[in-house]
């Protein structure tokens, strides 16, 4: 027994204060001597731990021990016993974001931050054919970015592409993005169908974000009674009272001038939630101001302040915007000062960069530039507050405002201060400054900023790159453009073919053929297509200079592909690789063309049950190394060359365009002779028709073809291992004969 308890028990026996005996119905008390004084120094413990901190420390210690020491059944597990298969209906967790899949996710996210949504979508869609398949988080990221860019049809199409066609298991965020996209595009009924599908098939319940999107969409559509129904559904599912859902309903009734009903829901919110979002008060204030009831609006604002809530930045920002919108700048400045004084990170963050942007933009709107800079530098005055550490968003806003007023010296000063801190300028920062310098006709400054952007390794969107190259070429800086292209070539994705085209043509016009050959070699090594018109133009220019054989030798040479060097962090990009476009639609996604296989028709939403893990991991992958659509693309050949090759080599017995019942379904656009039109009523996304309105590219020599020296190529007339979508190939494919995995990478 523990010595402490033995001592405590002995002290208890010696410290008995009195004893009672009962004789003849009377109780006689016999007082003994006073207790030992040492007993007063010993405190009796009624709990296992002396304090809550000690108990919490013990709980953390037990949790660490459970994490470090594996359970006994794991130690006794037989190594040959197969692990239990996970439930195929459950989506992946964040533990899947490791290794190459994390690199792919980061690459897509960097393209999204750069604003190049088409390239981000291309990389994500190509990766479903590789061993590095995208996680559900990567799919959600690109779909959400399409929604933020108001490209609703592309966002819906991406959902069907990833989760219906290629069986990636969605999570609740995937469905919430789809519901929000349908509601914002005005198709609320489709959003309700998604909600009903979650209830019927998903292994999880809708989240409060689902009800936020549904109620907002129904209120905007004038169907407020249905919005009330979904509010009750949320409460019945024990999700709790959400302030934003109530705010949507209150805003709907206020728009109908039904103040009594709005107050009824507000009282219900206060009963269910003690600390509610101040956005509800901002809704009442905005409606009162619009009706000319300024006193009622300010009374609602003061009633919120009297409660003494520590408001989070989104709530305070809404109140700031409402006050400034209706000319209450004094109250807005007082609220801003209060937020600065209440900012005590890491305990509590009372404001963010959006708070500063709201106040700074108001100063710029009123023409008070110096005051805007003072607001940007403002700090709190309370003893415990800490100054806000400005992030990149705040600096970008100041630079943008200065550039709008053509105050380039102040903008350059903010840029230098940004670079001096532990922050890195992003694509938005450089793009704003470069456009402003070109607008001010400061070409040298624009060129220097463009070089800094490329040296920083940031992605330059082809549309902006072509615009900047054209302006630099007009000023006679074509050699600088060639140097920038060479620097951009070192990173993936490679520059656009149009950028190379305009620079090469201007170099040829100036007679700089050696630099032209260097850029052309970069195009061939990087897998950038050469258009037939550019090929003819180069042959004509070099022929006039007597160097036709040199250019033809380069165009027909077998250069090693840049992608084979392994410098890309995402899915491998091989020469001639073409992304499989898809066709978004409201109904079941189907393949374009009259020969679509019936078994490929999928329901409106992903099937959540009766799927094995092998089905979820990509059912179209061969047993060998995975091959992406068009990964080992052969060089483009003219029809005359194809006919000459067909005479030399005996083709297989199959004919072009013939359907094989036993093989995989052949889609439209797979062979040039089978050009199918999309189904009627389908909406093409903006990035789907890759070959429409553009010249077909000439793929010179792929890395696969460079390894097939000595073998005679033959015309490919059978469907590849991975089916391609409509429009993925613009001409007949030529692939070397031989074993399918020669030159395996």
> Tens of pLDDT along 536-587?
999 999 999 999 999 999 888 866 654 433 333 333 333 333 333 333 333 3
Q: What is the pLDDT of residue 428?
A: 93
Q: How far apart are CA 401 and CA 358, in angstroms?
A: 12
The residue to which tokens 């032209």 are assigned: 516
Return the closest-CA partner of residue 135 out of 171, 110, 165.
171
Q: What is the pLDDT of residue 459?
A: 85
By mean pLDDT, which of 239-253, 341-355, 518-532, 622-636 is the weakest? 622-636
pLDDT at 250: 95
Report the distance separating Cα 401 and Cα 381, nearest Å.
27
In this prediction, residues 622-644 reach a mean pLDDT of 39
Only one residue has tokens 């209450």, namely 328
Element spanning 187, H or E: none
Q: What is the DSSP letter of 165?
A: I
pLDDT on residue 136: 96
Inform me whether the pLDDT recorded for 723 exceeds 80. no
Q: How far apart are CA 138 and CA 144, in angstroms?
A: 10
* Nearest by Cα to 607 from 208, 166, 183: 166
Q: Do the beta carbons of residue 563 and residue 575 sit within 8 Å?
A: yes
Percentage of residues in the chain having pLDDT higher than 90: 49
Angstrom distance (rounded) from CA 257 to CA 311: 28
Q: Do residues 405 and 365 touch, judged by C-beta distance below 8 A?
A: no
CATH architecture of the domain with residue range 171-276? Alpha Horseshoe (1.25)
Say which residue the tokens 């794991």 belong to: 74
What does the chain come to in residues?
745
Question: Element (H or E) spanning 54, and its range?
Answer: helix 52-68
Q: Find the mean pLDDT for residues 632-641.
A: 39
Alpha helices, DSSP H only, in 127-257?
Answer: 136-148, 152-159, 172-184, 188-201, 208-220, 224-236, 243-255
Position 495 scores a pLDDT of: 87
Q: Report d(CA 685, CA 653) in Å as an integer.
A: 38
Please state the domain extents for the chain: 3-35, 171-276
Tell me the average pLDDT across 209-224.
Answer: 95
Listed in sequence order, the residues at least 6 apart from 626 whose beta carbon sits closer than 8 Å to its beta carbon are 129, 130, 131, 618
Burial 401-440 (b: 16+ CB within 10 A, else e): bbbeeeebebbbebbeebeeeebebbbbbbbbbbbbbbee
Please provide the distance, in angstroms rounded to a whole number, between the alpha carbons at the two ends of the chain.
69
**pLDDT digits over 46-74, tens only?**
456 667 777 888 888 888 777 666 666 55
DSSP secondary structure code for residue 348 in this structure: B
Q: What is the mean pLDDT of residues 200-205?
A: 91
| Residue 339, pLDDT score | 93
Q: Which residue has the higher pLDDT, 405 or 674?
A: 405
What would you report as the CA-atom Rg of the chain, rounded to the nearest whole angstrom? Answer: 35
Query: CA 137 to CA 135: how far, in whole Å?
Result: 5
Q: Which two tokens stand for residue 637?
A: 């050949």
**What is this structure's pTM?**
0.66
φ, ψ of residue 105 to 5 degrees: the values are -60, -45
pLDDT number for residue 157: 96
169: CB partners within 8 A, 6+ apart: 88, 89, 90, 91, 92, 136, 163, 606, 608, 616
Q: Given the structure tokens 């919120």, which residue do they identify? A: 304
- Could you give the 3-state DSSP secondary structure of residue 628? coil
Higher pLDDT among residues 413 and 670, named by residue? 413
Residue 528 Cα to chain centre, angstroms? 26
Query: pLDDT value at position 77?
Result: 59
DSSP string, 690-707: TTTTSPPPB----HHHHT
The backbone region for 555, taken as left when phi is positive above 0, alpha when psi lies in -120 to 50, beta otherwise, is alpha
Q: What is the average per-residue pLDDT within 420-447?
A: 93
Query: CA-to-CA distance for 435 and 440, rounded, in angstroms?
Result: 9
Contacts of 570 (CB under 8 A, 6+ apart): 103, 104, 107, 108, 123, 127, 132, 492
> Looking at the predicted structure, is the pLDDT value of residue 9 above 80?
no
What count of other Cβ atoms lies within 10 Å of the Cβ of residue 181?
Answer: 26
How far apart CA 410 and CA 399 sit, in angstroms, is 8
- To 10 degrees, what angle do helices 329-341 and 313-325 make? 160
pLDDT in the model for residue 530: 87
Highest mean pLDDT out of 58-67, 182-191, 307-316: 182-191
Tokens of 298: 């300010």
Give the mean model confidence (pLDDT) for residues 507-521. 92
Q: Answer whether residue 279 shows pLDDT above 60.
A: yes
**Is residue 30 exposed (0-12), middle (13-18) or buried (19+ Cβ within 10 Å)?**
exposed
Chain segment 129-171, per-residue pLDDT in tens: 999 999 999 999 999 999 999 999 999 999 999 999 998 999 9
Cβ burial, residue 103 (10 Å; 0-12/13-18/19+): middle
Judged against a pLDDT cut of 80, whether residue 445 lies above it is answered with yes
DSSP string, 77-131: --TTSPPPPPPTTSPP-GGG--HHHHHHHHHHHHHHHTT-HHHHHHHHHHGGGSS
| SS3 label, residue 26 | strand
Residue 290 has, within 13 A of its CA and on its CB side, a CA count of: 11
């Amino acid at each position: 027994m523990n010595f402490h308890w033995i001592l405590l028990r002995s002290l208890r026996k010696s410290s008995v204060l009195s004893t009672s005996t009962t004789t003849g119905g009377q109780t006689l008390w016999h007082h003994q001597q006073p207790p030992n004084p040492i007993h007063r120094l010993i405190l009796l413990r009624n709990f296992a731990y002396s304090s809550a901190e000690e108990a919490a420390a013990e709980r953390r210690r037990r949790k660490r021990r459970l994490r470090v020491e594996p359970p006994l059944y794991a130690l006794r597990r037989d190594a040959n016993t197969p692990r239990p298969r996970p439930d195929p209906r459950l989506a992946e967790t964040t533990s899947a974001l490791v290794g190459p899949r994390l690199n792919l996710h980061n690459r897509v996210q960097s393209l999204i931050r750069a604003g190049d949504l088409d390239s981000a979508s291309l990389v994500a869609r190509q990766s479903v054919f590789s061993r590095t398949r995208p996680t559900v988080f990567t799919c959600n990221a690109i779909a959400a970015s399409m929604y933020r860019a108001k490209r609703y049809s592309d966002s819906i199409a991406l959902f069907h592409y990833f989760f219906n066609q290629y069986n990636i298991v969605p999570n609740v965020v995937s469905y919430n993005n789809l519901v929000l996209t349908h509601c914002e595009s005005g198709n609320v009924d489709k959003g309700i169908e998604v909600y009903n599908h979650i209830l019927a098939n998903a292994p999880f319940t809708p989240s409060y974000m689902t009800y936020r999107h549904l109620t907002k969409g129904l209120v905007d559509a004038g169907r407020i009674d249905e919005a009330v129904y979904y509010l009750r559904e949320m409460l019945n599912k024990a999700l709790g009272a959400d302030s934003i859902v109530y705010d949507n309903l209150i805003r709907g009734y206020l728009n109908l001038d039904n103040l009594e009903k709005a107050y009824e829901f507000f009282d219900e919110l206060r009963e269910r939630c003690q600390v509610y979002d101040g956005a509800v008060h901002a809704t009442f204030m905005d409606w009162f101001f619009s009706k000319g009831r300024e006193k009622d609006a300010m009374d609602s604002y003061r009633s919120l302040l009297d409660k003494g809530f520590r408001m989070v930045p989104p709530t305070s920002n809404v109140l700031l915007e409402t006050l400034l919108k209706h000319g209450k700048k004094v109250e807005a400045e007082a609220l801003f000062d209060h937020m600065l004084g209440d900012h005590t990170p890491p305990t509590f963050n009372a404001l963010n960069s959006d708070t500063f942007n709201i106040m700074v933009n108001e100063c710029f709107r009123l023409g008070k530039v110096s005051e805007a800079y003072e607001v940007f530098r403002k700090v709190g005055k309370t003893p415990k507050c800490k100054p806000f550490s400005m992030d990149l968003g705040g600096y970008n806003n100041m630079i943008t405002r200065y550039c709008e007023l053509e105050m380039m010296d102040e903008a350059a000063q903010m840029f230098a201060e940004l670079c001096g801190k532990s922050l890195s300028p992003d694509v938005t920062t450089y793009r704003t400054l470069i456009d402003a310098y070109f607008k001010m006709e400061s070409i040298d400054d624009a060129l220097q900023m463009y070089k800094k952007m490329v040296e920083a390794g940031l992605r330059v969107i082809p549309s902006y790159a072509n615009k900047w190259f054209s302006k630099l070429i007009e000023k006679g800086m074509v050699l600088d453009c060639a140097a920038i292209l060479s620097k951009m070539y070192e990173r993936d994705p490679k520059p656009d073919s149009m950028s190379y085209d305009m620079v090469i043509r201007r170099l040829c016009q100036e007679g700089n053929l050696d630099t032209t050959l260097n850029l052309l070699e970069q195009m061939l090594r990087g897998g950038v297509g050469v258009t037939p018109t550019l090929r003819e133009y180069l042959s004509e220019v070099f022929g006039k200079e007597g160097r036709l054989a040199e250019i033809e030798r380069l165009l027909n040479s077998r250069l090693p592909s840049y992608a084979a060097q392994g410098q890309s962090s995402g899915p491998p990009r091989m020469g001639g690789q073409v992304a499989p476009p898809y066709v978004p639609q409201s109904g079941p996604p189907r393949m374009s063309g009259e020969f679509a296989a019936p078994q490929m028709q999928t329901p409106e939403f992903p099937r959540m049950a009766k799927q094995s893990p092998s089905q979820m991991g990509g059912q179209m992958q061969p047993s060998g190394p995975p091959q992406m659509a068009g990964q080992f693309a052969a060089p483009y050949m003219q029809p005359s060359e194809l006919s000459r090759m067909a005479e030399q080599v005996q083709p297989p017995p199959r004919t072009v365009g013939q359907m094989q019942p036993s093989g995989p379904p052949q889609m439209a656009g797979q062979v040039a002779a089978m050009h199918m039109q999309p189904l009627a009523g389908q909406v093409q996304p903006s990035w789907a028709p890759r070959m429409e309105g553009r010249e077909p590219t000439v793929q010179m020599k792929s890395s696969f073809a460079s390894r097939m020296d000595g073998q005679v190529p033959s015309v490919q007339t059978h469907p590849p291992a991975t089916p391609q979508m409509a429009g993925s190939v613009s001409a007949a494919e030529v692939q070397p004969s031989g074993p399918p995995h020669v030159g395996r990478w």
